[in-house]
Amino acid sequence: MNKNSSDIMALAPNTPNKRETVCIFGTGDFGRALGHKLIQSGYPVVYGSRSTQISNLIPKDAEVLGHAEAAQKAAIIIIAIQRQHYNFLTPLAEVLRGKVLVDISNNLKLNQYPESNAEYLAQLLPGSKVVKSFNTVSAWALQSGTLDASRQVFVCGDDVEAKQMVMNIVRALGLTPLDKGSLLAAQEIENYPLQLFPMWKFPIFLSLGLAAFFFLYCVALDIVYTYIYENNNFSFFIAITIPNRVCPVVALILLALVYLPGIFAAIIQLYRGTKYRRFPDWLDKWMLCRKQLGLIALAFASLHVVFTLVTPLRAFASWRTSKRIISQALNNKTEPLDHTNAWLSDSYLALGILGYFLFVLLGITSLPSVSNNVNWREFRFVQSKLGYLALIFCTAHTLVYGGKWFLSPSAYKWYLPNIYILSLIVPCAVLVVKFVLIFPCVDKPLTRIRQGWERNPKYSE
């Protein structure tokens, strides 16, 4: 029996807006979860199953019939079975003719099959209207009602009306349909839930690698060296002092790496004299992960800011201050204000604050909802102009702060350069080349190339 126990139907028992019956093929986990949810939303549900004996697991208000009878009761059939069993549907082709088939399947691996499951289904049953949907929704979330994550449900298909019917169901379940166009998009939609931050992998590994290298470098120079040659145990530097040296260095290098591929692209275009040849693959990939590099750089910069601001709260800092003041007091003298030092300390703090401020602005404009509200001209202004300004401020901040170490010979423990020197190589190189690139004699041909002009048309043949 098909009883509608939902609240909505109870409230409007005689309205003509009765929901159309939905058929679900397959009584697996997702089929049952979706059925429960559909019944809650006021849809009569019919299951198509090999064994029509009523299982305990199937929602009480649903009917269970054989596949053919179930399919006849509904205009929409949700195919909640796995791709490898799709061929059992071919004998049902006549019953399914003209019906809307909703493919909700997922694969276990990216691009597991040559064509998407939905396209395969459409090939098997050319008389039916196949719509891909629901594959990004988790059965567990449907069941528990905790749809905290994205409520967006991708929908694609070749038949506009069939898509509309599926999108209405999606909306009735409290989700937001997103039309992704024709069934060709099914491949992309099927790959989507298998991804785990694919764009973030390389930037994260790179930054963790850099961080690990600089961490060990600092441990060697600041803890091991000091312990061996000065017999001081500064092992507690591992907690704050060294992270606070590693974070700014990694942040600065990553920020420079955001702008380096643009420099390479400009040089390649100038050398080739055309923009109509593809960049090498590594450069293309690098350019596509600039946003991620920038955001990781911002994370490291933020850690640096907090690590720096807690300095006065550290027992070590408090002990060092006491020691300095007491030694002055015991010598009965007060040192006058060192103006050079005051200038230097205030300058690098101010430069760092301004650089970080611009950096945070860049991060905010990277939020999808913000970047969707700016046009290209505005986006380019923020990301390029403000981005370079942030890089200049941050590089200057490091130069002013680390400057004193460059010349002092005592800084070269074990003849190794200080990490400030290492951190400045890439940013300074980027800024110098960029400075050359904005000279009119270089900028003009580059602009012309980017507008479509070609020096040697032979390249594009």
Q: Which residues pair with 23 in a beta bridge?
A: 46, 77
Q: What residues pair up with 153 in beta bridges, in sequence order?
A: 177
Q: Is 225 one of the binding residues for a copy of itself (CB under 8 A)?
A: no
The window from 45-53, 217-225, 251-259, 311-319 that contacts a copy of itself (CB under 8 A) reads: 311-319
Residues 354-393 that bind a copy of itself (CB under 8 A): 356-357, 361, 367-381, 383
Q: How many residues bind a copy of itself (CB under 8 A)?
A: 140
Binding status of residue 29 toward a copy of itself by CB under 8 A: yes
| 123 makes contact with a copy of itself (CB under 8 A) | yes
Out of 26, 42, 48, 355, the only residue in the binding site for a copy of itself (CB under 8 A) is 42
First and final CA of the chain: distance in angstroms?
A: 70
- Smallest distance, Å, CB 48 to a copy of itself? 18
Positions 251 through 280 that interact with a copy of itself (CB under 8 A): 265, 275-276, 279
Instruction: For residue 320, give Cα distances in angstroms to 236, 242, 294, 435.
Output: 14, 17, 36, 42
Residue given tokens 């379940």 in the structure block: 173
Task: State how far the Cα of 444 lies from the Cα of 276, in Å rounded to an integer.
Answer: 18
* Residues 298, 281: Cα–Cα separation, whole Å: 26
Identify the residue among 47, 214, 259, 307 touching a copy of itself (CB under 8 A): 307
Within 8 A by CB and 6+ apart from 407, the residues are none
Instruction: Give the H or E element holding residue 160.
Output: helix 160-172
H helices present in 273-332, as ranges: 281-288, 290-309, 315-330
Other Cβ atoms closer than 10 A to 222: 18
| Nearest-angstrom CA–CA distance, 251 and 373 | 28
Give the binding range for a copy of itself (CB under 8 A) out of 328-336, 387-395, 405-413, 419-427.
328-336
Token pair 């998407």 is found at 116
Which residues share a beta bridge with 129? 100
Among 85, 404, 444, 450, binds a copy of itself (CB under 8 A): 450
Measured from the CB atom, is 2 or 152 closer to a copy of itself? Answer: 152
Check binding of 1 to a copy of itself (CB under 8 A).
no
Where does this chain touch a copy of itself (CB under 8 A) — which range of 71-79, 345-353, 404-412, 440-448? 345-353
The token pair at 203 is 């930037």
Task: Show Cβ contacts of residue 161 under 8 Å, excluding neighbours closer than 6 positions.
Answer: 129
The reply on whether position 56 binds a copy of itself by CB under 8 A is yes
Nearer to a copy of itself, 140 or 406 (CB): 140
Q: Express the helix, strand and coil content of the chain in percent, nearest 5 each.
A: 65, 5, 30
Applying CB under 8 A, does 454 fall inside the site for a copy of itself?
Answer: yes
**Smallest distance, a copy of itself to C-beta of residue 342, A:** 5
Q: Tell me the two tokens of residue 218.
A: 């600092």
Length of the chain, please? 461
Question: 3-state class of 146 per DSSP?
Answer: coil
Interacting span for a copy of itself (CB under 8 A) from 61-69, 95-103, 204-212, 450-458: 450-458
Report the residue number, 368 or 409, with the smaller CB distance to a copy of itself. 368
Of 284, 406, 444, 447, which one interacts with a copy of itself (CB under 8 A)? 284
Candidate list 1, 108, 315, 441; residue touching a copy of itself; CB under 8 A: 315
Distance CA 275, CA 277 (A): 6
| 440/452 with CB nearer a copy of itself | 452
Choices 94-102, 181-189, 209-217, 424-432; region in contact with a copy of itself by CB under 8 A: 181-189
Candidate ranges 64-72, 135-143, 206-214, 218-226; the one touching a copy of itself (CB under 8 A) = 135-143
- 3-state DSSP call for residue 404? helix
Q: Contact at 8 Å (CB) between 164 and 138?
A: no
Is position 91 an interface residue for a copy of itself (rule: CB under 8 A)? no
Per CB under 8 A, the list member of 264, 316, 388, 405 interacting with a copy of itself is 316
- Decide if residue 332 touches a copy of itself (CB under 8 A): yes
Q: Among 120-128, 209-217, 420-428, 438-446, which window interacts with a copy of itself (CB under 8 A)?
A: 120-128
Among 349, 389, 392, 446, binds a copy of itself (CB under 8 A): 349
Q: How far apart are CA 216 and CA 242, in angstroms?
A: 9
